[in-house]
Amino acid sequence: MKANTNLVPASSVMDFPRHCLAFAQFAPQGFALVDGESFIVLYVNSAFSRLLQLPVEELVGKRFEELFAENHSCAHAFDRVHSTGRPERHVEVKVSGAHPIYWSCTLWPVGSKERVDYVMLEITLVDEYPQKALELSEALLMGSVRQHLLVEESTALNERLRLEIRERKRTEKALLESQSQLRDLSAKLESEVIERTAKLNETSNQLEAFVFMVAHDLRAPLRAMQGFSTLLIEDAGIALSDAAKDYAKRIVKASQFMDDLLCDLLAFSRISQQQIELFPVSLEEVVQGVISQLQKILEETKAQITLPKQWPFVLGHKPILRQVLFNLVSNALKFSAPDRPPRLVIRTEEQAGFIRVWVEDNGIGIPAEYQTEIFHPFTRLNGVHYEGTGIGLSIVKKGVERMGGSVGVESTLGKGSQFWFELRKPLST
């Protein structure tokens, strides 16, 4: 055992318990014991000698400050530990050859609170630490560079974002403005439409009222003309010459015709302007009503009417439908051929949601070139032999159109005509 080789002469280290030093002898860390009074190094272990690259003999017995270069931080630390009695630890660098060697140095006092008898020194190689620190600081540097770049980038990004937000806000504002303008505009438009519709309705009502007033007021003098010329013929007939009677008869006839005209005009204007709602209407009921209304003429003309066995419902307006059918049936009776009694067929067809109603006759027929024209007001093809106002079929057309349908005719001159109209089939009855 070389137990005592690390020690200074016994006299100097007498007071320090020897067996305590034995603990340090083979430790991997370097240990040194320094006397608190003389600052003489009393003991070093082999690790310490290796670290300082000096043999034990050259270390023990020297004053502590001689072990280190001048102003070495270990020397300063020693002073502080000695005077304050508080332990210290710090990292030292000792240059040796090409590679720096790092060690950490820990110093602590040994003794009592009042007096530092010895100072213990422990040195540990900390080769990994500086490398790590270096890497860490490099990483930190890179990190800060990166951070800097990131900050710059995010600043630029923020600026762009700010601009974008500003632009967006501007767009939003413009959008809101144009939306509100649009709203204002549409509100204005709507109120204009309402206003104009109201005006139009008012005008239309005024017009309707006007037409009625005109027709009504025109019919009043007509009643007088008709009434008094009739009285001339009936009551004063004996006193009148044949020519005068003929004149009076012409007045009666003319005023009767004018009355028919006024009635048809009234009906036409009424059908054009009246507000209507469509309901399912029983075709049978309407046709039977028309037939009973025309019963007298049917008997006079010895007419025959063939009616369908099955009657559909149509979507229509009963008074208008009645007028339409009345005009069609009375036309069929009126425009009969002189050599044969009228034969009428009323039949229905269903196609694609529509009901087509045919009113067919064996009358004089209509030349092909006039088959569209006859639906226009005041079109009369047979002035001399067949009386009429020329409005009847216009009423038919207008009436059917008001009920959302259409009309047409097929005819052979001299053989007869087949008038038809189509109305929607009601979804349910």
Partner 1 sequence: MNRDGTILLADDSEDDILLTRIAFEKAGMKNPLQEVHNGEEAIAYLKGEPPYNDRARFPLPTILLMDLNMPRKNGCEVLLWLRAQKGLRRLPVVILSASMRVEDVTKAFDSGANSFLLKPSSLSELVSTIEALGNWMKFNYFPSLTDDA
User: Hunting for tokens 């002189």 — which residue is that?
Assistant: 338
Distance CA 161, CA 155 (A): 10
How many chain residues interact with partner 1 (CB under 8 A)?
17
Closest distance between partner 1 and the C-beta of residue 228, in Å? 8
- Which distant-in-sequence residues (6+ apart) come within 8 Å of 198 by Cβ? none
Binds partner 1 by CB under 8 A, chosen from 25, 104, 106, 256: 256
By the rule CB under 8 A, 273 interacts with partner 1: no
Listed ranges 92-100, 223-231, 391-399, 414-422: which one lies at the site for partner 1 (CB under 8 A): 223-231
Closest distance between partner 1 and the C-beta of residue 227, in Å? 4
Closest distance between partner 1 and the C-beta of residue 384, in Å? 23
If the CB atoms of residues 219 and 425 are measured against partner 1, the closer one turns out to be 219
Distance CA 114, CA 36 (A): 12
By the rule CB under 8 A, 220 interacts with partner 1: yes
Can you say whether the dihedral through the CA atoms of 248, 250, 253, 254 is positive or negative?
A: negative
CA dihedral 80, 85, 87, 88 (to 10 degrees): -10
Closest distance between partner 1 and the C-beta of residue 423, in Å? 22
Binds partner 1 by CB under 8 A, chosen from 230, 272, 282, 293: 230
Listed ranges 9-17, 30-38, 44-52, 213-221: which one lies at the site for partner 1 (CB under 8 A): 213-221
Distance CA 74, CA 358 (A): 128
By the rule CB under 8 A, 379 interacts with partner 1: no
Closest distance between partner 1 and the C-beta of residue 364, in Å? 28
Binds partner 1 by CB under 8 A, chosen from 259, 264, 361, 422: 259
By the rule CB under 8 A, 160 interacts with partner 1: no
By the rule CB under 8 A, 187 interacts with partner 1: no
CA 10 to mean position of chain CA atoms? 101
By the rule CB under 8 A, 140 interacts with partner 1: no
Distance CA 267, CA 208 (A): 11
If the CB atoms of residues 227 and 353 are measured against partner 1, the closer one turns out to be 227
By the rule CB under 8 A, 207 interacts with partner 1: no
| Residues 308-322: b if buried by 16+ CB within 10 A, e if exposed | beebbbbbbbeebbb
Angle, CA of 103, 66 and 57, to the nearest 5°: 85
User: Hunting for tokens 């690259």 — which residue is that?
Assistant: 53
Euclidean distance between the first and the last CA atom of the chain, given in angstroms as a whole number? 129
Closest distance between partner 1 and the C-beta of residue 302, in Å? 24
Listed ranges 31-39, 240-248, 251-259, 341-349: which one lies at the site for partner 1 (CB under 8 A): 251-259
By the rule CB under 8 A, 101 interacts with partner 1: no
CA 144 to mean position of chain CA atoms? 49
Binds partner 1 by CB under 8 A, chosen from 266, 278, 291, 307: 266
User: Hunting for tokens 């332990």 — which residue is that?
Assistant: 87
Q: What Å distances lie between residue 234 and 7, 31, 245, 247, 252, CA to CA? A: 175, 163, 10, 13, 12
Listed ranges 12-20, 196-204, 253-261, 393-401: which one lies at the site for partner 1 (CB under 8 A): 253-261
Closest distance between partner 1 and the C-beta of residue 260, in Å? 9
Over 336-371, what HEC string results? CCCCCCCEEEEEEEEECCEEEEEEECCCCCCCHHHC
If the CB atoms of residues 255 and 411 are measured against partner 1, the closer one turns out to be 255
Can you say whether the dihedral through the CA atoms of 387, 365, 338, 292 is positive or negative?
A: negative
Listed ranges 42-50, 86-94, 150-158, 216-224: which one lies at the site for partner 1 (CB under 8 A): 216-224
Closest distance between partner 1 and the C-beta of residue 196, in Å? 25
Residues of this chain that interact with partner 1 (CB under 8 A) are 212, 216, 219-224, 226-228, 230-231, 255-256, 259, 266
